Structure 1
């Protein structure tokens, strides 16, 4: 571990965070077509979530009840002293009049969490009247937006989807992947991973993003043969809950696939787990590999000519999912040497050993000690300590690290929030197509010198 990360902190505060608080899971609700988040929190809370997760994060934008349209209680001192239930009751009534939603999710922030407002009882009254409404405790002091995301998913399953006694459909898979609006590429990534799974012979139930059909997809969750979690840790708690509630098995694949080798291995794991016929998946792999390597062979001419001016080493700091995915692809498929890998999303302790092990022997003869750190000051200090041996290095990080990259004379690539130098409309770096996009991004920067 670097000397910077060994430094003992004198307070519980952190600087330059890479995540928002739990109430930022309002964006999980926005990621569901026709769903309306109702923010039961103080003024400015949702403005900050929107600024960090949607605007200063690839300028992703938002629709329907997201961003500035999001209903909020804007709790005041009066609510803290006398309770905020009346304010929330009025907000729910107003929201039901203004938004014709298919699902309403009340997310309680720090104020309601501290004063102990009985939000579930109020929400139950509306549910008894026939409204599709859910309550979830997302007080910021309980965790970050990734924790909040898992809380929202479980709340919707329990309070909206409900019990199920029917049969499960073979070949139908619920896809639990990226947290909406957290990774800048989440919309394109969901589309690419769903395309891959469909190509392999599956029917995919997409719960978030452009291919989500709204709450009817959520009501189909219990019908699926199994749940597929593609993440080092986010979503595992949801899959465990679904297994307990519906007796529904799940497959956990910690590594997001990037490139032909990783994607083919990913497909075969899922097909083997599902027990479906392999003929279609193997044909799909053959077709996709042919296209992938066609483009890679053309790229190799450029690489052979300009390799001496290209980065050979890199440092990366991001959430556990993409720190692992990018490190493995760049090391194993491109041959770059990882000199520093720092994970910023505060994964639960029970997952950390598995995550650490994934970075050992990440490619033949390549091993990197991953570090867990949330404090931006210590992250920057740790990367500063890296002595890149030669040439121009590559730094994959957030906007917080732009000046550091300039000081190091490094190529810089934003991959984690905040990301204020990149506009994202529809982009993906996963699977077959995403890997080629990633190579374009990195080596265009190499040619352009920035």
Structure 2
């Protein structure tokens, strides 16, 4: 099969088994360095994508995209929900009420935010149903004063299914004997595990009517509506517009960017910054090709001179060394891409096995918002990393190839 001269010679130089084995070793280390940079970049970007995905599906699946609330109890939430659903950006609504306080059991205390929900309606706006380890959301029945808590809260309080816990409300009841805190006994009917310390430790759920009775409201009165959007990034604008246009009372809106927006933006910024830093590592590995080719040019001066005397043009000489450097870049990038894809697909299981072997948890959910290493491999990230590595590898060939093309045959052969 016919191959151009520069391709034939360039591939022969890449193998370079004849005289200088040190040059071959440098070529190999350049290739492996580039492969390692590509591997690490694909792996880290996949992990950052995983954190981004878990933030959307777990945290923002539990936290409402937005809420429309009122300072006074809302009597007819169904008609309000029908008006809100007329907005094309809103895909579902559900009523809710909230109350902060303390849960106590046998002298143990845990702060809690109780979300009172309608179990049938809540499934439309929340994915909590998929995280239950015991019980289910439908076990919350009006009048039973049942409560659903996270596994971290259950562990801290030392309670399980069917146990009684006491909720201490941040209000007092005035009696002739004095002021006493408002207390209510709840029965644990469900335990969930989301994997997010903030949710598993401090969020609880009960039935809307039970919390209404505790707050001395009518059974059908609620604090507001939880909204689910087709595009959660539209939540701040649309929720504010809805609160302004409903108009029959003073409604106000809250959205996820106020409660978890900083965390989400931090993840996005970290991905960009880490990607940039890792790209510099790839650049360092790619520019090792420069030193490799400079050494090859020095080693092959006699060969270059002979090729020039046989009629090779400076352009062909330059192409020879560009082919050699590009081959190193292509093989290094390909090896790194394959290993990076395999690592990204197996990092979660690998870290989990390592944690089991060491008996140590790398991510503590009390510190981080999830307690495991997620990973999501995205094709565009792989293509971007490989493209950047190939481009840097090609650019690294230009200077050594230019030096080779400037070699003067007489000077090179003087001492041969």
Superposition TM-score tier, normalisation by shorter sequence: under 0.3
Q: Which has the larger radius of gyration?
A: 2
More strand by share: 2
Structure number with the bigger relative contact order (C-alpha 8 A, sep ≥ 6) is 2
